[in-house]
Amino acid sequence: MIYSVTLNPAIDRIIHVHDALTRGKNNHVSESYNDIGGKGTHVSVVLSCLDTPNIATGFIGENGKEELYSLLMERKVNPEFFVLPNRAVRQNYVIMDETHSGSFMITQTGPSITPDELGQFTTDFTGKLEPDDIVVFAGNPSRLMSPNDYGSLLKKVKETGVRLIVDASGDYLKKAIEISPTLIKPNQYEFGELTQKKITSIEDTIEVMEKSNLSKIDYIIVSLGKKGSLLFHNGSIDHVIPPKVKTVNDTGCGDAFVGGIVYALYKNFSVEDMLTFATSVSASKAMQPTSSGFVPEEARLLREQVTLEKIK
């Protein structure tokens, strides 16, 4: 089974405004709608779009649970979250204007989790896991959870023998690499923060990677936005370049990419196929007005425009 773990899911309130979003001015809404927020949840939406059974888990506030569950089930995702009584699902705001130069993301902190609840979730979740499962922790927990608590949860999950994929940032990513997960996918900025190095180019990324002590991690994918992604695996380095698409909503493109990677690992694709597939999924996501989801047929056509370069 594939499990996506979102420790701090959200409902995204997506708002389009006329003209350019401007301070001090009354910005008029042209359109607004809601979608699934959080990152693991988006990985599950991609897998369900590909008719691949998966379970979306993590923590969820009691208030707002029904709305998020119905959004997930509309997308054929099977939610099995640990419910936090008397607390609310966080709401994030994704604002887009007519400049089409990317979204504004405003995110809430999310609910607190008691040590007992964390302990109970850890026991329940690790008790379900089988060694041939794939587990994806995507998105940071709420800032109310310490990196140490996050790290010990990951450690207990890793000890079950599953393939563990982590998409996190900052101190949470630092904690994750201590347990050598199967795959991490920092973006250029997060990789720079992790290695304490200023990274501005593909060459910088390769140089820093080759000097780093991250070799115990099977797959390291550094996403570079429109410049594509670099995959470091077994001493080889591959660079994938995405197709040019008309971006409608860039929110969740990184999550969709991770969803494509997970599907490819599950289907035992070659690393080349894994990269081109995930890149086409992410490109199709960019063309959607929502935060999550993609169109498989569209991704299939876009994949022909994806470029792969073997660097080493």
Q: Considering beta carbons, is residue 82 or 269 the nearer one to ligand TA6?
A: 82
Q: Is 101 exposed, middle or buried (0-12, 13-18, 19+ CB in 10 A)?
A: exposed
**Segment interacting with ligand TA6 (CB under 6 A) among 34-42, 64-72, 128-136, 146-154:** 34-42
Cβ at position 270, least distance to ligand TA6 in Å: 27
Size of the site for ligand TA6 (CB under 6 A): 17
Torsion of CA 182, 188, 193, 194, to 10 degrees: 20
Residue 133: both structure tokens together:
């499962």
Angle subtended at Cα 286 by Cα 28 and Cα 169, rounded to the nearest 5 degrees: 95
Contact 37, 9 (CB under 8 A): yes
Q: Report in angstroms how near the CB of residue 285 gets to ligand TA6 at its nearest.
A: 10
x/- letters, 106..145, toward ligand TA6 (CB under 6 A): -x-------------------------------xx-----
Tokens at residue 7, please? Answer: 């420790």
The beta-strand segments (E) located in 7-98 are 10-17, 29-37, 55-63, 78-79, 82-88, 90-96
E strand residue ranges, 40-176:
55-63, 78-79, 82-88, 90-96, 104-106, 134-138, 163-167
Which residue in the block uniquely carries the two structure tokens 């860039």? 250
- Cβ nearer to ligand TA6, comparing 17 with 256: 256
Which residue among 4, 37, 192, 237 contacts ligand TA6 (CB under 6 A)?
37
> Does 250 help bind ligand TA6 (rule: CB under 6 A)?
no
Rounded alpha-carbon distances, angstroms, from residue 10 to 76, 97, 169: 18, 22, 18
Segment interacting with ligand TA6 (CB under 6 A) among 70-78, 173-181, 249-257, 304-312: 249-257
The helix (run of H) or strand (run of E) holding residue 223 is strand 219-223
Estimate to the nearest angstrom the gap between the alpha carbon of 126 and the chain centroid: 21
| 12 is a site residue for ligand TA6 (CB under 6 A) | yes
Q: Which of 5, 10, 46, 89 binds ligand TA6 (CB under 6 A)?
A: 10
Window contacting ligand TA6 (CB under 6 A); options: 16-24, 35-43, 185-193, 201-209: 35-43
Among residues 8, 54, 229, 290, which is the contact residue for ligand TA6, using CB under 6 A?
Answer: 8
Nearer residue to ligand TA6 within complex by CB, 54 or 208: 54
Residue of the chain from 255, 262, 281, 303 that contacts ligand TA6 (CB under 6 A): 255
Per CB under 6 A, does 91 bind ligand TA6?
Answer: no
- Contacts with ligand TA6, residue ranges (CB under 6 A): 8, 10, 12, 37-39, 42, 92, 105, 107, 139-140, 251-252, 254-255, 291
